[in-house]
Every structure is written in C-alpha cells, then in structure tokens.
Structure 1
Amino acid sequence: MGDEQQVHAVALRAREAAAELTPLTRAAKDAALRAMADALVARSDEIIAANLTDVARAVAAGTSEAMVDRLTLTAERVAAIADAVRHVADLPDPVGEVVRGSTLPNGLELRQLRVPFGVIGIIYEGRPNVTADAAALCLKSGNAALLRGSSSAYDSNSAIVSVLRDALAGLDGGVPVDAVQLVPGTGRESVHQLMRARGLVDVLIPRGGASLINTVVTESTVPVIETGVGNCHVYVDADADLDMAVSLLLNSKAQRVSVCNAAETVLVHAGIAAEFLPRALKELHEAGVTVHGDDAVRGHGEAAGVPVAEATEQDWAEEYLSYDIAAAVVPSVDAAIAHIRRYSSQHTEAIVTRSQPTARYFTARVDSAAVLVNASTRFTDGGEFGFGAEIGISTQKLHARGPMGLTEMTSTKYIVTGDGQTR
C-alpha cells in the first residue's frame, strides 16, 4: 500500500472515530485520559528503550546537543508527560458549552454550541512529549488525532502511540482506539499526503521551526492554524525602571532559549541607552548570550568591555532559539513599533515602561498575538495564562490567536428549535 492509500486509510478511521467521540460525556473522556496516563508510567521502560534508538541515531547523525536533549526521554520525563495528560483530564470540557442563545421574534429558540472540529492532523518536530500532549488535548476536546512527528523521533512516537491505543483498547468501551493514530511513514510523501487530505482531515496544526510551518501553510489544501515561530521583541522605553528592564530582558532571553516565546531582539530607547546598555550587555554576556548589535549597541559594548557582534539584516528577522539576541538603539517608541512591524512574527512583544500613556500607545499599535507590559515574554503560554494546557501558540488571526487551549480546538454549530414555524 502506497503513502496516499496508507494516509487515507488512517484518516478514514479517524473520521469514524471522531463521530463516536462527539457525543461522549466528560466522564468517559476523562477516564480514558487517566488510563492513558497510567499506561505511560507502567510501560515507561518500553518507551525509553524505543527512545534510545532514536537518540543513538541522532547522535550518529551529528545532531546538536540541544536537539538531542529535546529528543531524549527519561523515567522522570515520561512521568511528567503522564502528569500532563492527567492535568488535561482535570480541565473543563468545552464541548457542549453554549456560546450564546436567544429566542427569536418568531419563537425559534437559537443556541450556538461548541463542538469538536472532527479530525485534527498535527505535524511536529523533535519532542516526543508532543505525541502524548496532542493526543490528550484532541481527545478531551472530542477530536480524533492524526499525529505525524519527525522521523528523528519515529521509534519513540510509535511506542507512545502504541501505549495510548492499548490503554483505550483496555477500556470497557466508549472511546474508540482510532481516536489516536500515528500517520504511517517517515518520508516527506506521507506528510504531503496528510496536507492534501482535504475532506478527510478538518484542520492541520504544525508545530516546529519556520521551515516546517511555512511548508505546511503554503502547500496544504487542508485548513491550517499557523503556530509557533517567535521573533519576539523587548522594547526598553525611556521611562523604564532599569532594574526591572534588566531582569525582564534576562528572563525573556535566557531563562529557556529553545522556545518560541523567548526574546530574540531587544530595542532600547536612545534616552536611556548610555545608562542601560552597559549593564544589560554585561549581564547578558555573563549569562552566555551573544549580542548582535547595531553601531550604537556595539559602541556601548566596546565602552563596557563586552564583545558585541555586528548585526546583519538577517539578525533582525532571526528566531535564534539559542543564546543569541539582536539589539538596536531606537530614537522613539514609534521607531520601536516600526521595527517590530517590519520584523516581528506577530507572536509576542513586550514593553518595559513606567509611563501608562506610552504603554497604552504601544499596545494599541503593536499587532501581535500577545503584547506584554512590564512582564517577561516567557509568559505567553497556555499554562501561564491559566488555560491549563495548549496545543501551540497561534500567530494567525482566524479563529484562534495566541495560546491555543481546549476551547480553541473546537468550532461551533447552531441548534434551532421550533414548534412548526415556516418561513
């Protein structure tokens, strides 16, 4: 059976499973999620053994240490994955929520309800924990999951999906096993077929780097929710509390560098650059961060005895995901906004200022999924926002924007009840 036939076969099974999932009660879905979590822990040795194969292959291929770490599973990490699945079980179920309702003048009762999308395809890179996270979020929101991870984690993902499906099979019934499926194949063709399965797959969510996301967005005929790429900015205003600004910049950049909500560019108002930059550059340097600066930043770095690389045009648009940051001095808040408009991926931007008028001006004019005032960019996260869990950070403007929790994994339908009205 070729890639097209294989992908269509799993998609057809997913559609059948989705129809069975829609009417399930929260209790049934939560019981399934808890069984999945227990199975992950019980069979962690099996999952780790499969993961060792992926890790050995990655090391032999010369994969970077950071990427190998993202790929690696340990008993503690598997336990954390299981805890995340249990946490999803504890979250409110969005399915069936009444978004709005009214009685029309003709007596018809109108209700708009949240309903699952149906079949969600998720294309992702690297981290095998996404396999369990995505399966849990899809199941809780009543969707069947078609999971297509990277070939680098194929053995790990296969083992996790096998454990999850066995857990569903061991239940008394209700939740179909095909609610969770791994898309077959490790080559590009199976990804291409998933992207072209319009009519079988209701929506695709890519999770990964810019290249993956761009490929899915531009080549898919299935509707796509664009997620993830984060060229995030921190703007330090003339009225900033400098102690706060240094603290927020370091947290935004260096607390965890390989995530999409890490800061990649800092913009500093010229009015406080001479006071702020020497200190900030020293602390960034001590944290292991390489600064790529414009002429003004490099001048302050030279005066402070801190090495600063020369920024290129590419640096302003770069999502480093590493211990690197671009830096520029700007003459005004409008110049900062103009820079952000030109280079931002519309993920997260932050302003540090004590001026409420400037904060309002900035937040009204910066068009990103999240704009923070006097807070780290690292807070753009479903868990930090109180959503409990997320499938990704949406950087598009249709349906969902920002952290995508369970609610964002549903659509709506109208239920209209009458007693014989005709038009």
Structure 2
Amino acid sequence: MTLAQRRILLGVSGGIAAYKSCELVRRLRDLGAQVRVVMTENATRFVTPITFQALSGEPVRVSLWDESAEAAMGHIELARWAERVLIAPASADLIARLAHGAADDLLTTLCLATAAPVYVAPAMNQQMWAHAAVQANMATLRARGVQVLGPASGDQACGEIGSGRMLEPLELRAAIVASFSDRVLHGKRVVVSAGPTYEDIDPVRFIGNRSSGRMGFAVAGAAARAGAQVTLVAGPVSLATPFGVARRIDVRSAAQMHAAVTEAAQGADIYIGSAAVGDYRPSQVAEHKLKKHDGADLTLQLSENPDILASLAARQPRPFLVGFAAETQNVENYARDKLQRKGLDMIAANQVGEGLGFETADNAITLYWADGSLELPRADKAALARQLIECIASRYQAVHG
C-alpha cells in the first residue's frame, strides 16, 4: 500500500474533529504522499496553521488573497497541483457552501477550480447531520460526483451519540489509497454479509454473538473500491455504510439475513459470507418478558437456522462463494471441512478468542481453496480486507477466466 509522490490537498474546515486531521496528515505522509493543507478561517480556531505546516513540511494556506502564491492566484496553483482533494472535517457550513457553488474563501474556490476528484468527510452533531437541509446538500454533492466518506456513528464531542463523527484517519487514508488502485472487480456484482445475528427469546432478551461487523464492513468497502457494485447485508451493528457501497440492507435474525442474501444474490457474481450467523434460534419466542423463578432452571428449545452458504451452493447458476470460519481451535481442519462440505470456492479462516478476531481493530486470516492456501498476517482490518479482495478477484478470474 503506497501513496508515493501522490499529491493530496487536505482541506480543513472549522470543527472539533480538526484535531484528527493532524494525524491524517502524518498517516498520508507515512505512505509517501505529498500533502498540502488549506484551512478555513474557522479551522484555525481549533488547530493552528503552524501545526499542519510542521506535520506536512509545506506552507499552509488560509487566505484567498495570498501575495506569496504563484502569480497571487493560490487557488489556481493548488487546484492544478492536487491529484485528490480531501476535506476532513467537512462541517455543515462548508458542505452548504460547496453545494451552492460558493467561492468566498480559498478552500471553496479551489474546489470549483480543480479537475481532481473531491472527497468530503462530514463531521458534525448528530442532529445537524440528520437535518433535511444537510441531507439535501449532501445529495447535491453526490449528484455532482463528490465522494462522501462517512460519517461514522458513536460518541460525539457534544456528549450526544449518533451519526456525524468523522471517519478515523486510517479509514480516510484507505479510501484515498483505494482511489489510486487497480479496480480488480470492475463491473462485478458482489454481495457481502456482515455482523452478528440476534435471535429473540422474548421482547427483552436475545441470543447473539460478539461479532462487531468491522471485518465484513471493511470487506464491503474494499470490494466497492475495487470497482464492484456492492450490496451489504448487515446484522445489528452501529457502523456507517462504507464508501462506495451501492445498497445496504439491515437485518436482525438469521432468517432475515437468509432472505435478504437470497434476494440480493440473484444474478450476483460473488458472495462473501463474513457475517457471524447464529446456528440456532429459540423454537418459540415468548410474547412477554420471561420472569425469573428463584431456584428454577430455564430450558430453551432451539431450532436450527437456515444455512445461507449451503442454499446458495445448491443454486444453478451460483455465485462464486467465499465463506468465513471463526474457530477457537483446529482452525485449518475445521476450515477445510467447511470448504468441502458446503461446496465453497474459498474460505477465510481465523482464530478467535481473547484479543483475537472479534472486537479488535486488527485480524489475521488464512485463505483456503481446493488446491491452495494463502496466509494474510495480522494487520488492521481495512488493510486485510484489501488483500482479501485482491485474492478473491484472482481466484474468481482463475475459475471464470
């Protein structure tokens, strides 16, 4: 993964998330990128220009009227220089001005003057993000070809919880890296399932698992960046839809996931089953909350859930099938057995347990297919997903030509 000599213009607008952009500059430069920073006046209230200058090794521009710029036309100079324009954070005000074609400061002016792809990473209070005006402005930008990265959902600086957090620097860097990458799945239809499934016991309790959905969401994002038209079927998680994913279907139970995947996989080229689908569900769901009776045990009768991979394998024609196997022991034996028993084309296996697989930012995977295998060493899940997609694309080509 490299950005060697790539020219990235980072726009920083006013918002508390501007502090994350300092790390973003460092992360981009770690991969060899040349980074120049343009700040709005309000952004300088959160982070000083000298900080970005020290991190980027380049002068930081704020004013549209910079006499030191080439021919005193800094917006043209920067617009021509940039290969990518990334605005992070993109405040509600900045988004509104971009949507309305404003050119009242250096950042908005160069966005009008550049031929480079423009990416925005929204960052604002969750109520602001949900406002109809903001959503209308976002729709306008998307229609004009601006690429929107995020936002994520979670705790916010204001103390509220919801969508509106700026994506983390490594996620933004991965999107920029992918924008320069070969599109190895161009034109392919890919369905990805991700996250856990929950099986209700009563209106309050459920049976679930520890899957965070991060690996599957990273895989969906990597497939989209590789040029695929991606449908993501997501279990109950609080994750933003990855950049580039064409369609997202949210489900809760294994039966709902089975139905959604079955519908989405019609005509699909590849199915990647990274979801941690529950094997069993309560045979009966109590209408009201079950009450505790001191000294009395509770017995649940369980029924087997439908097997998504097996049902897709029985189809003709069928998509190229990639399964996942999360195991606590005998990883290779169980993975190869699942590969053969379910008629898969490939399986991604990993060991789970304390600090492994679930609820972690990184992972390690070994890929198996009928006559081969490939070990992907431990790495952050975004990087691992990119490698996984490259291998899936290679195997798909080997099978289908």
Same fold (TM over 0.5): no
Q: Greater RCO between the two (CA within 8 Å, min separation 6)? A: 1
Provide TM-score, normalisation by structure 1: 0.29
The structure that is helix-richer by fraction is: 1
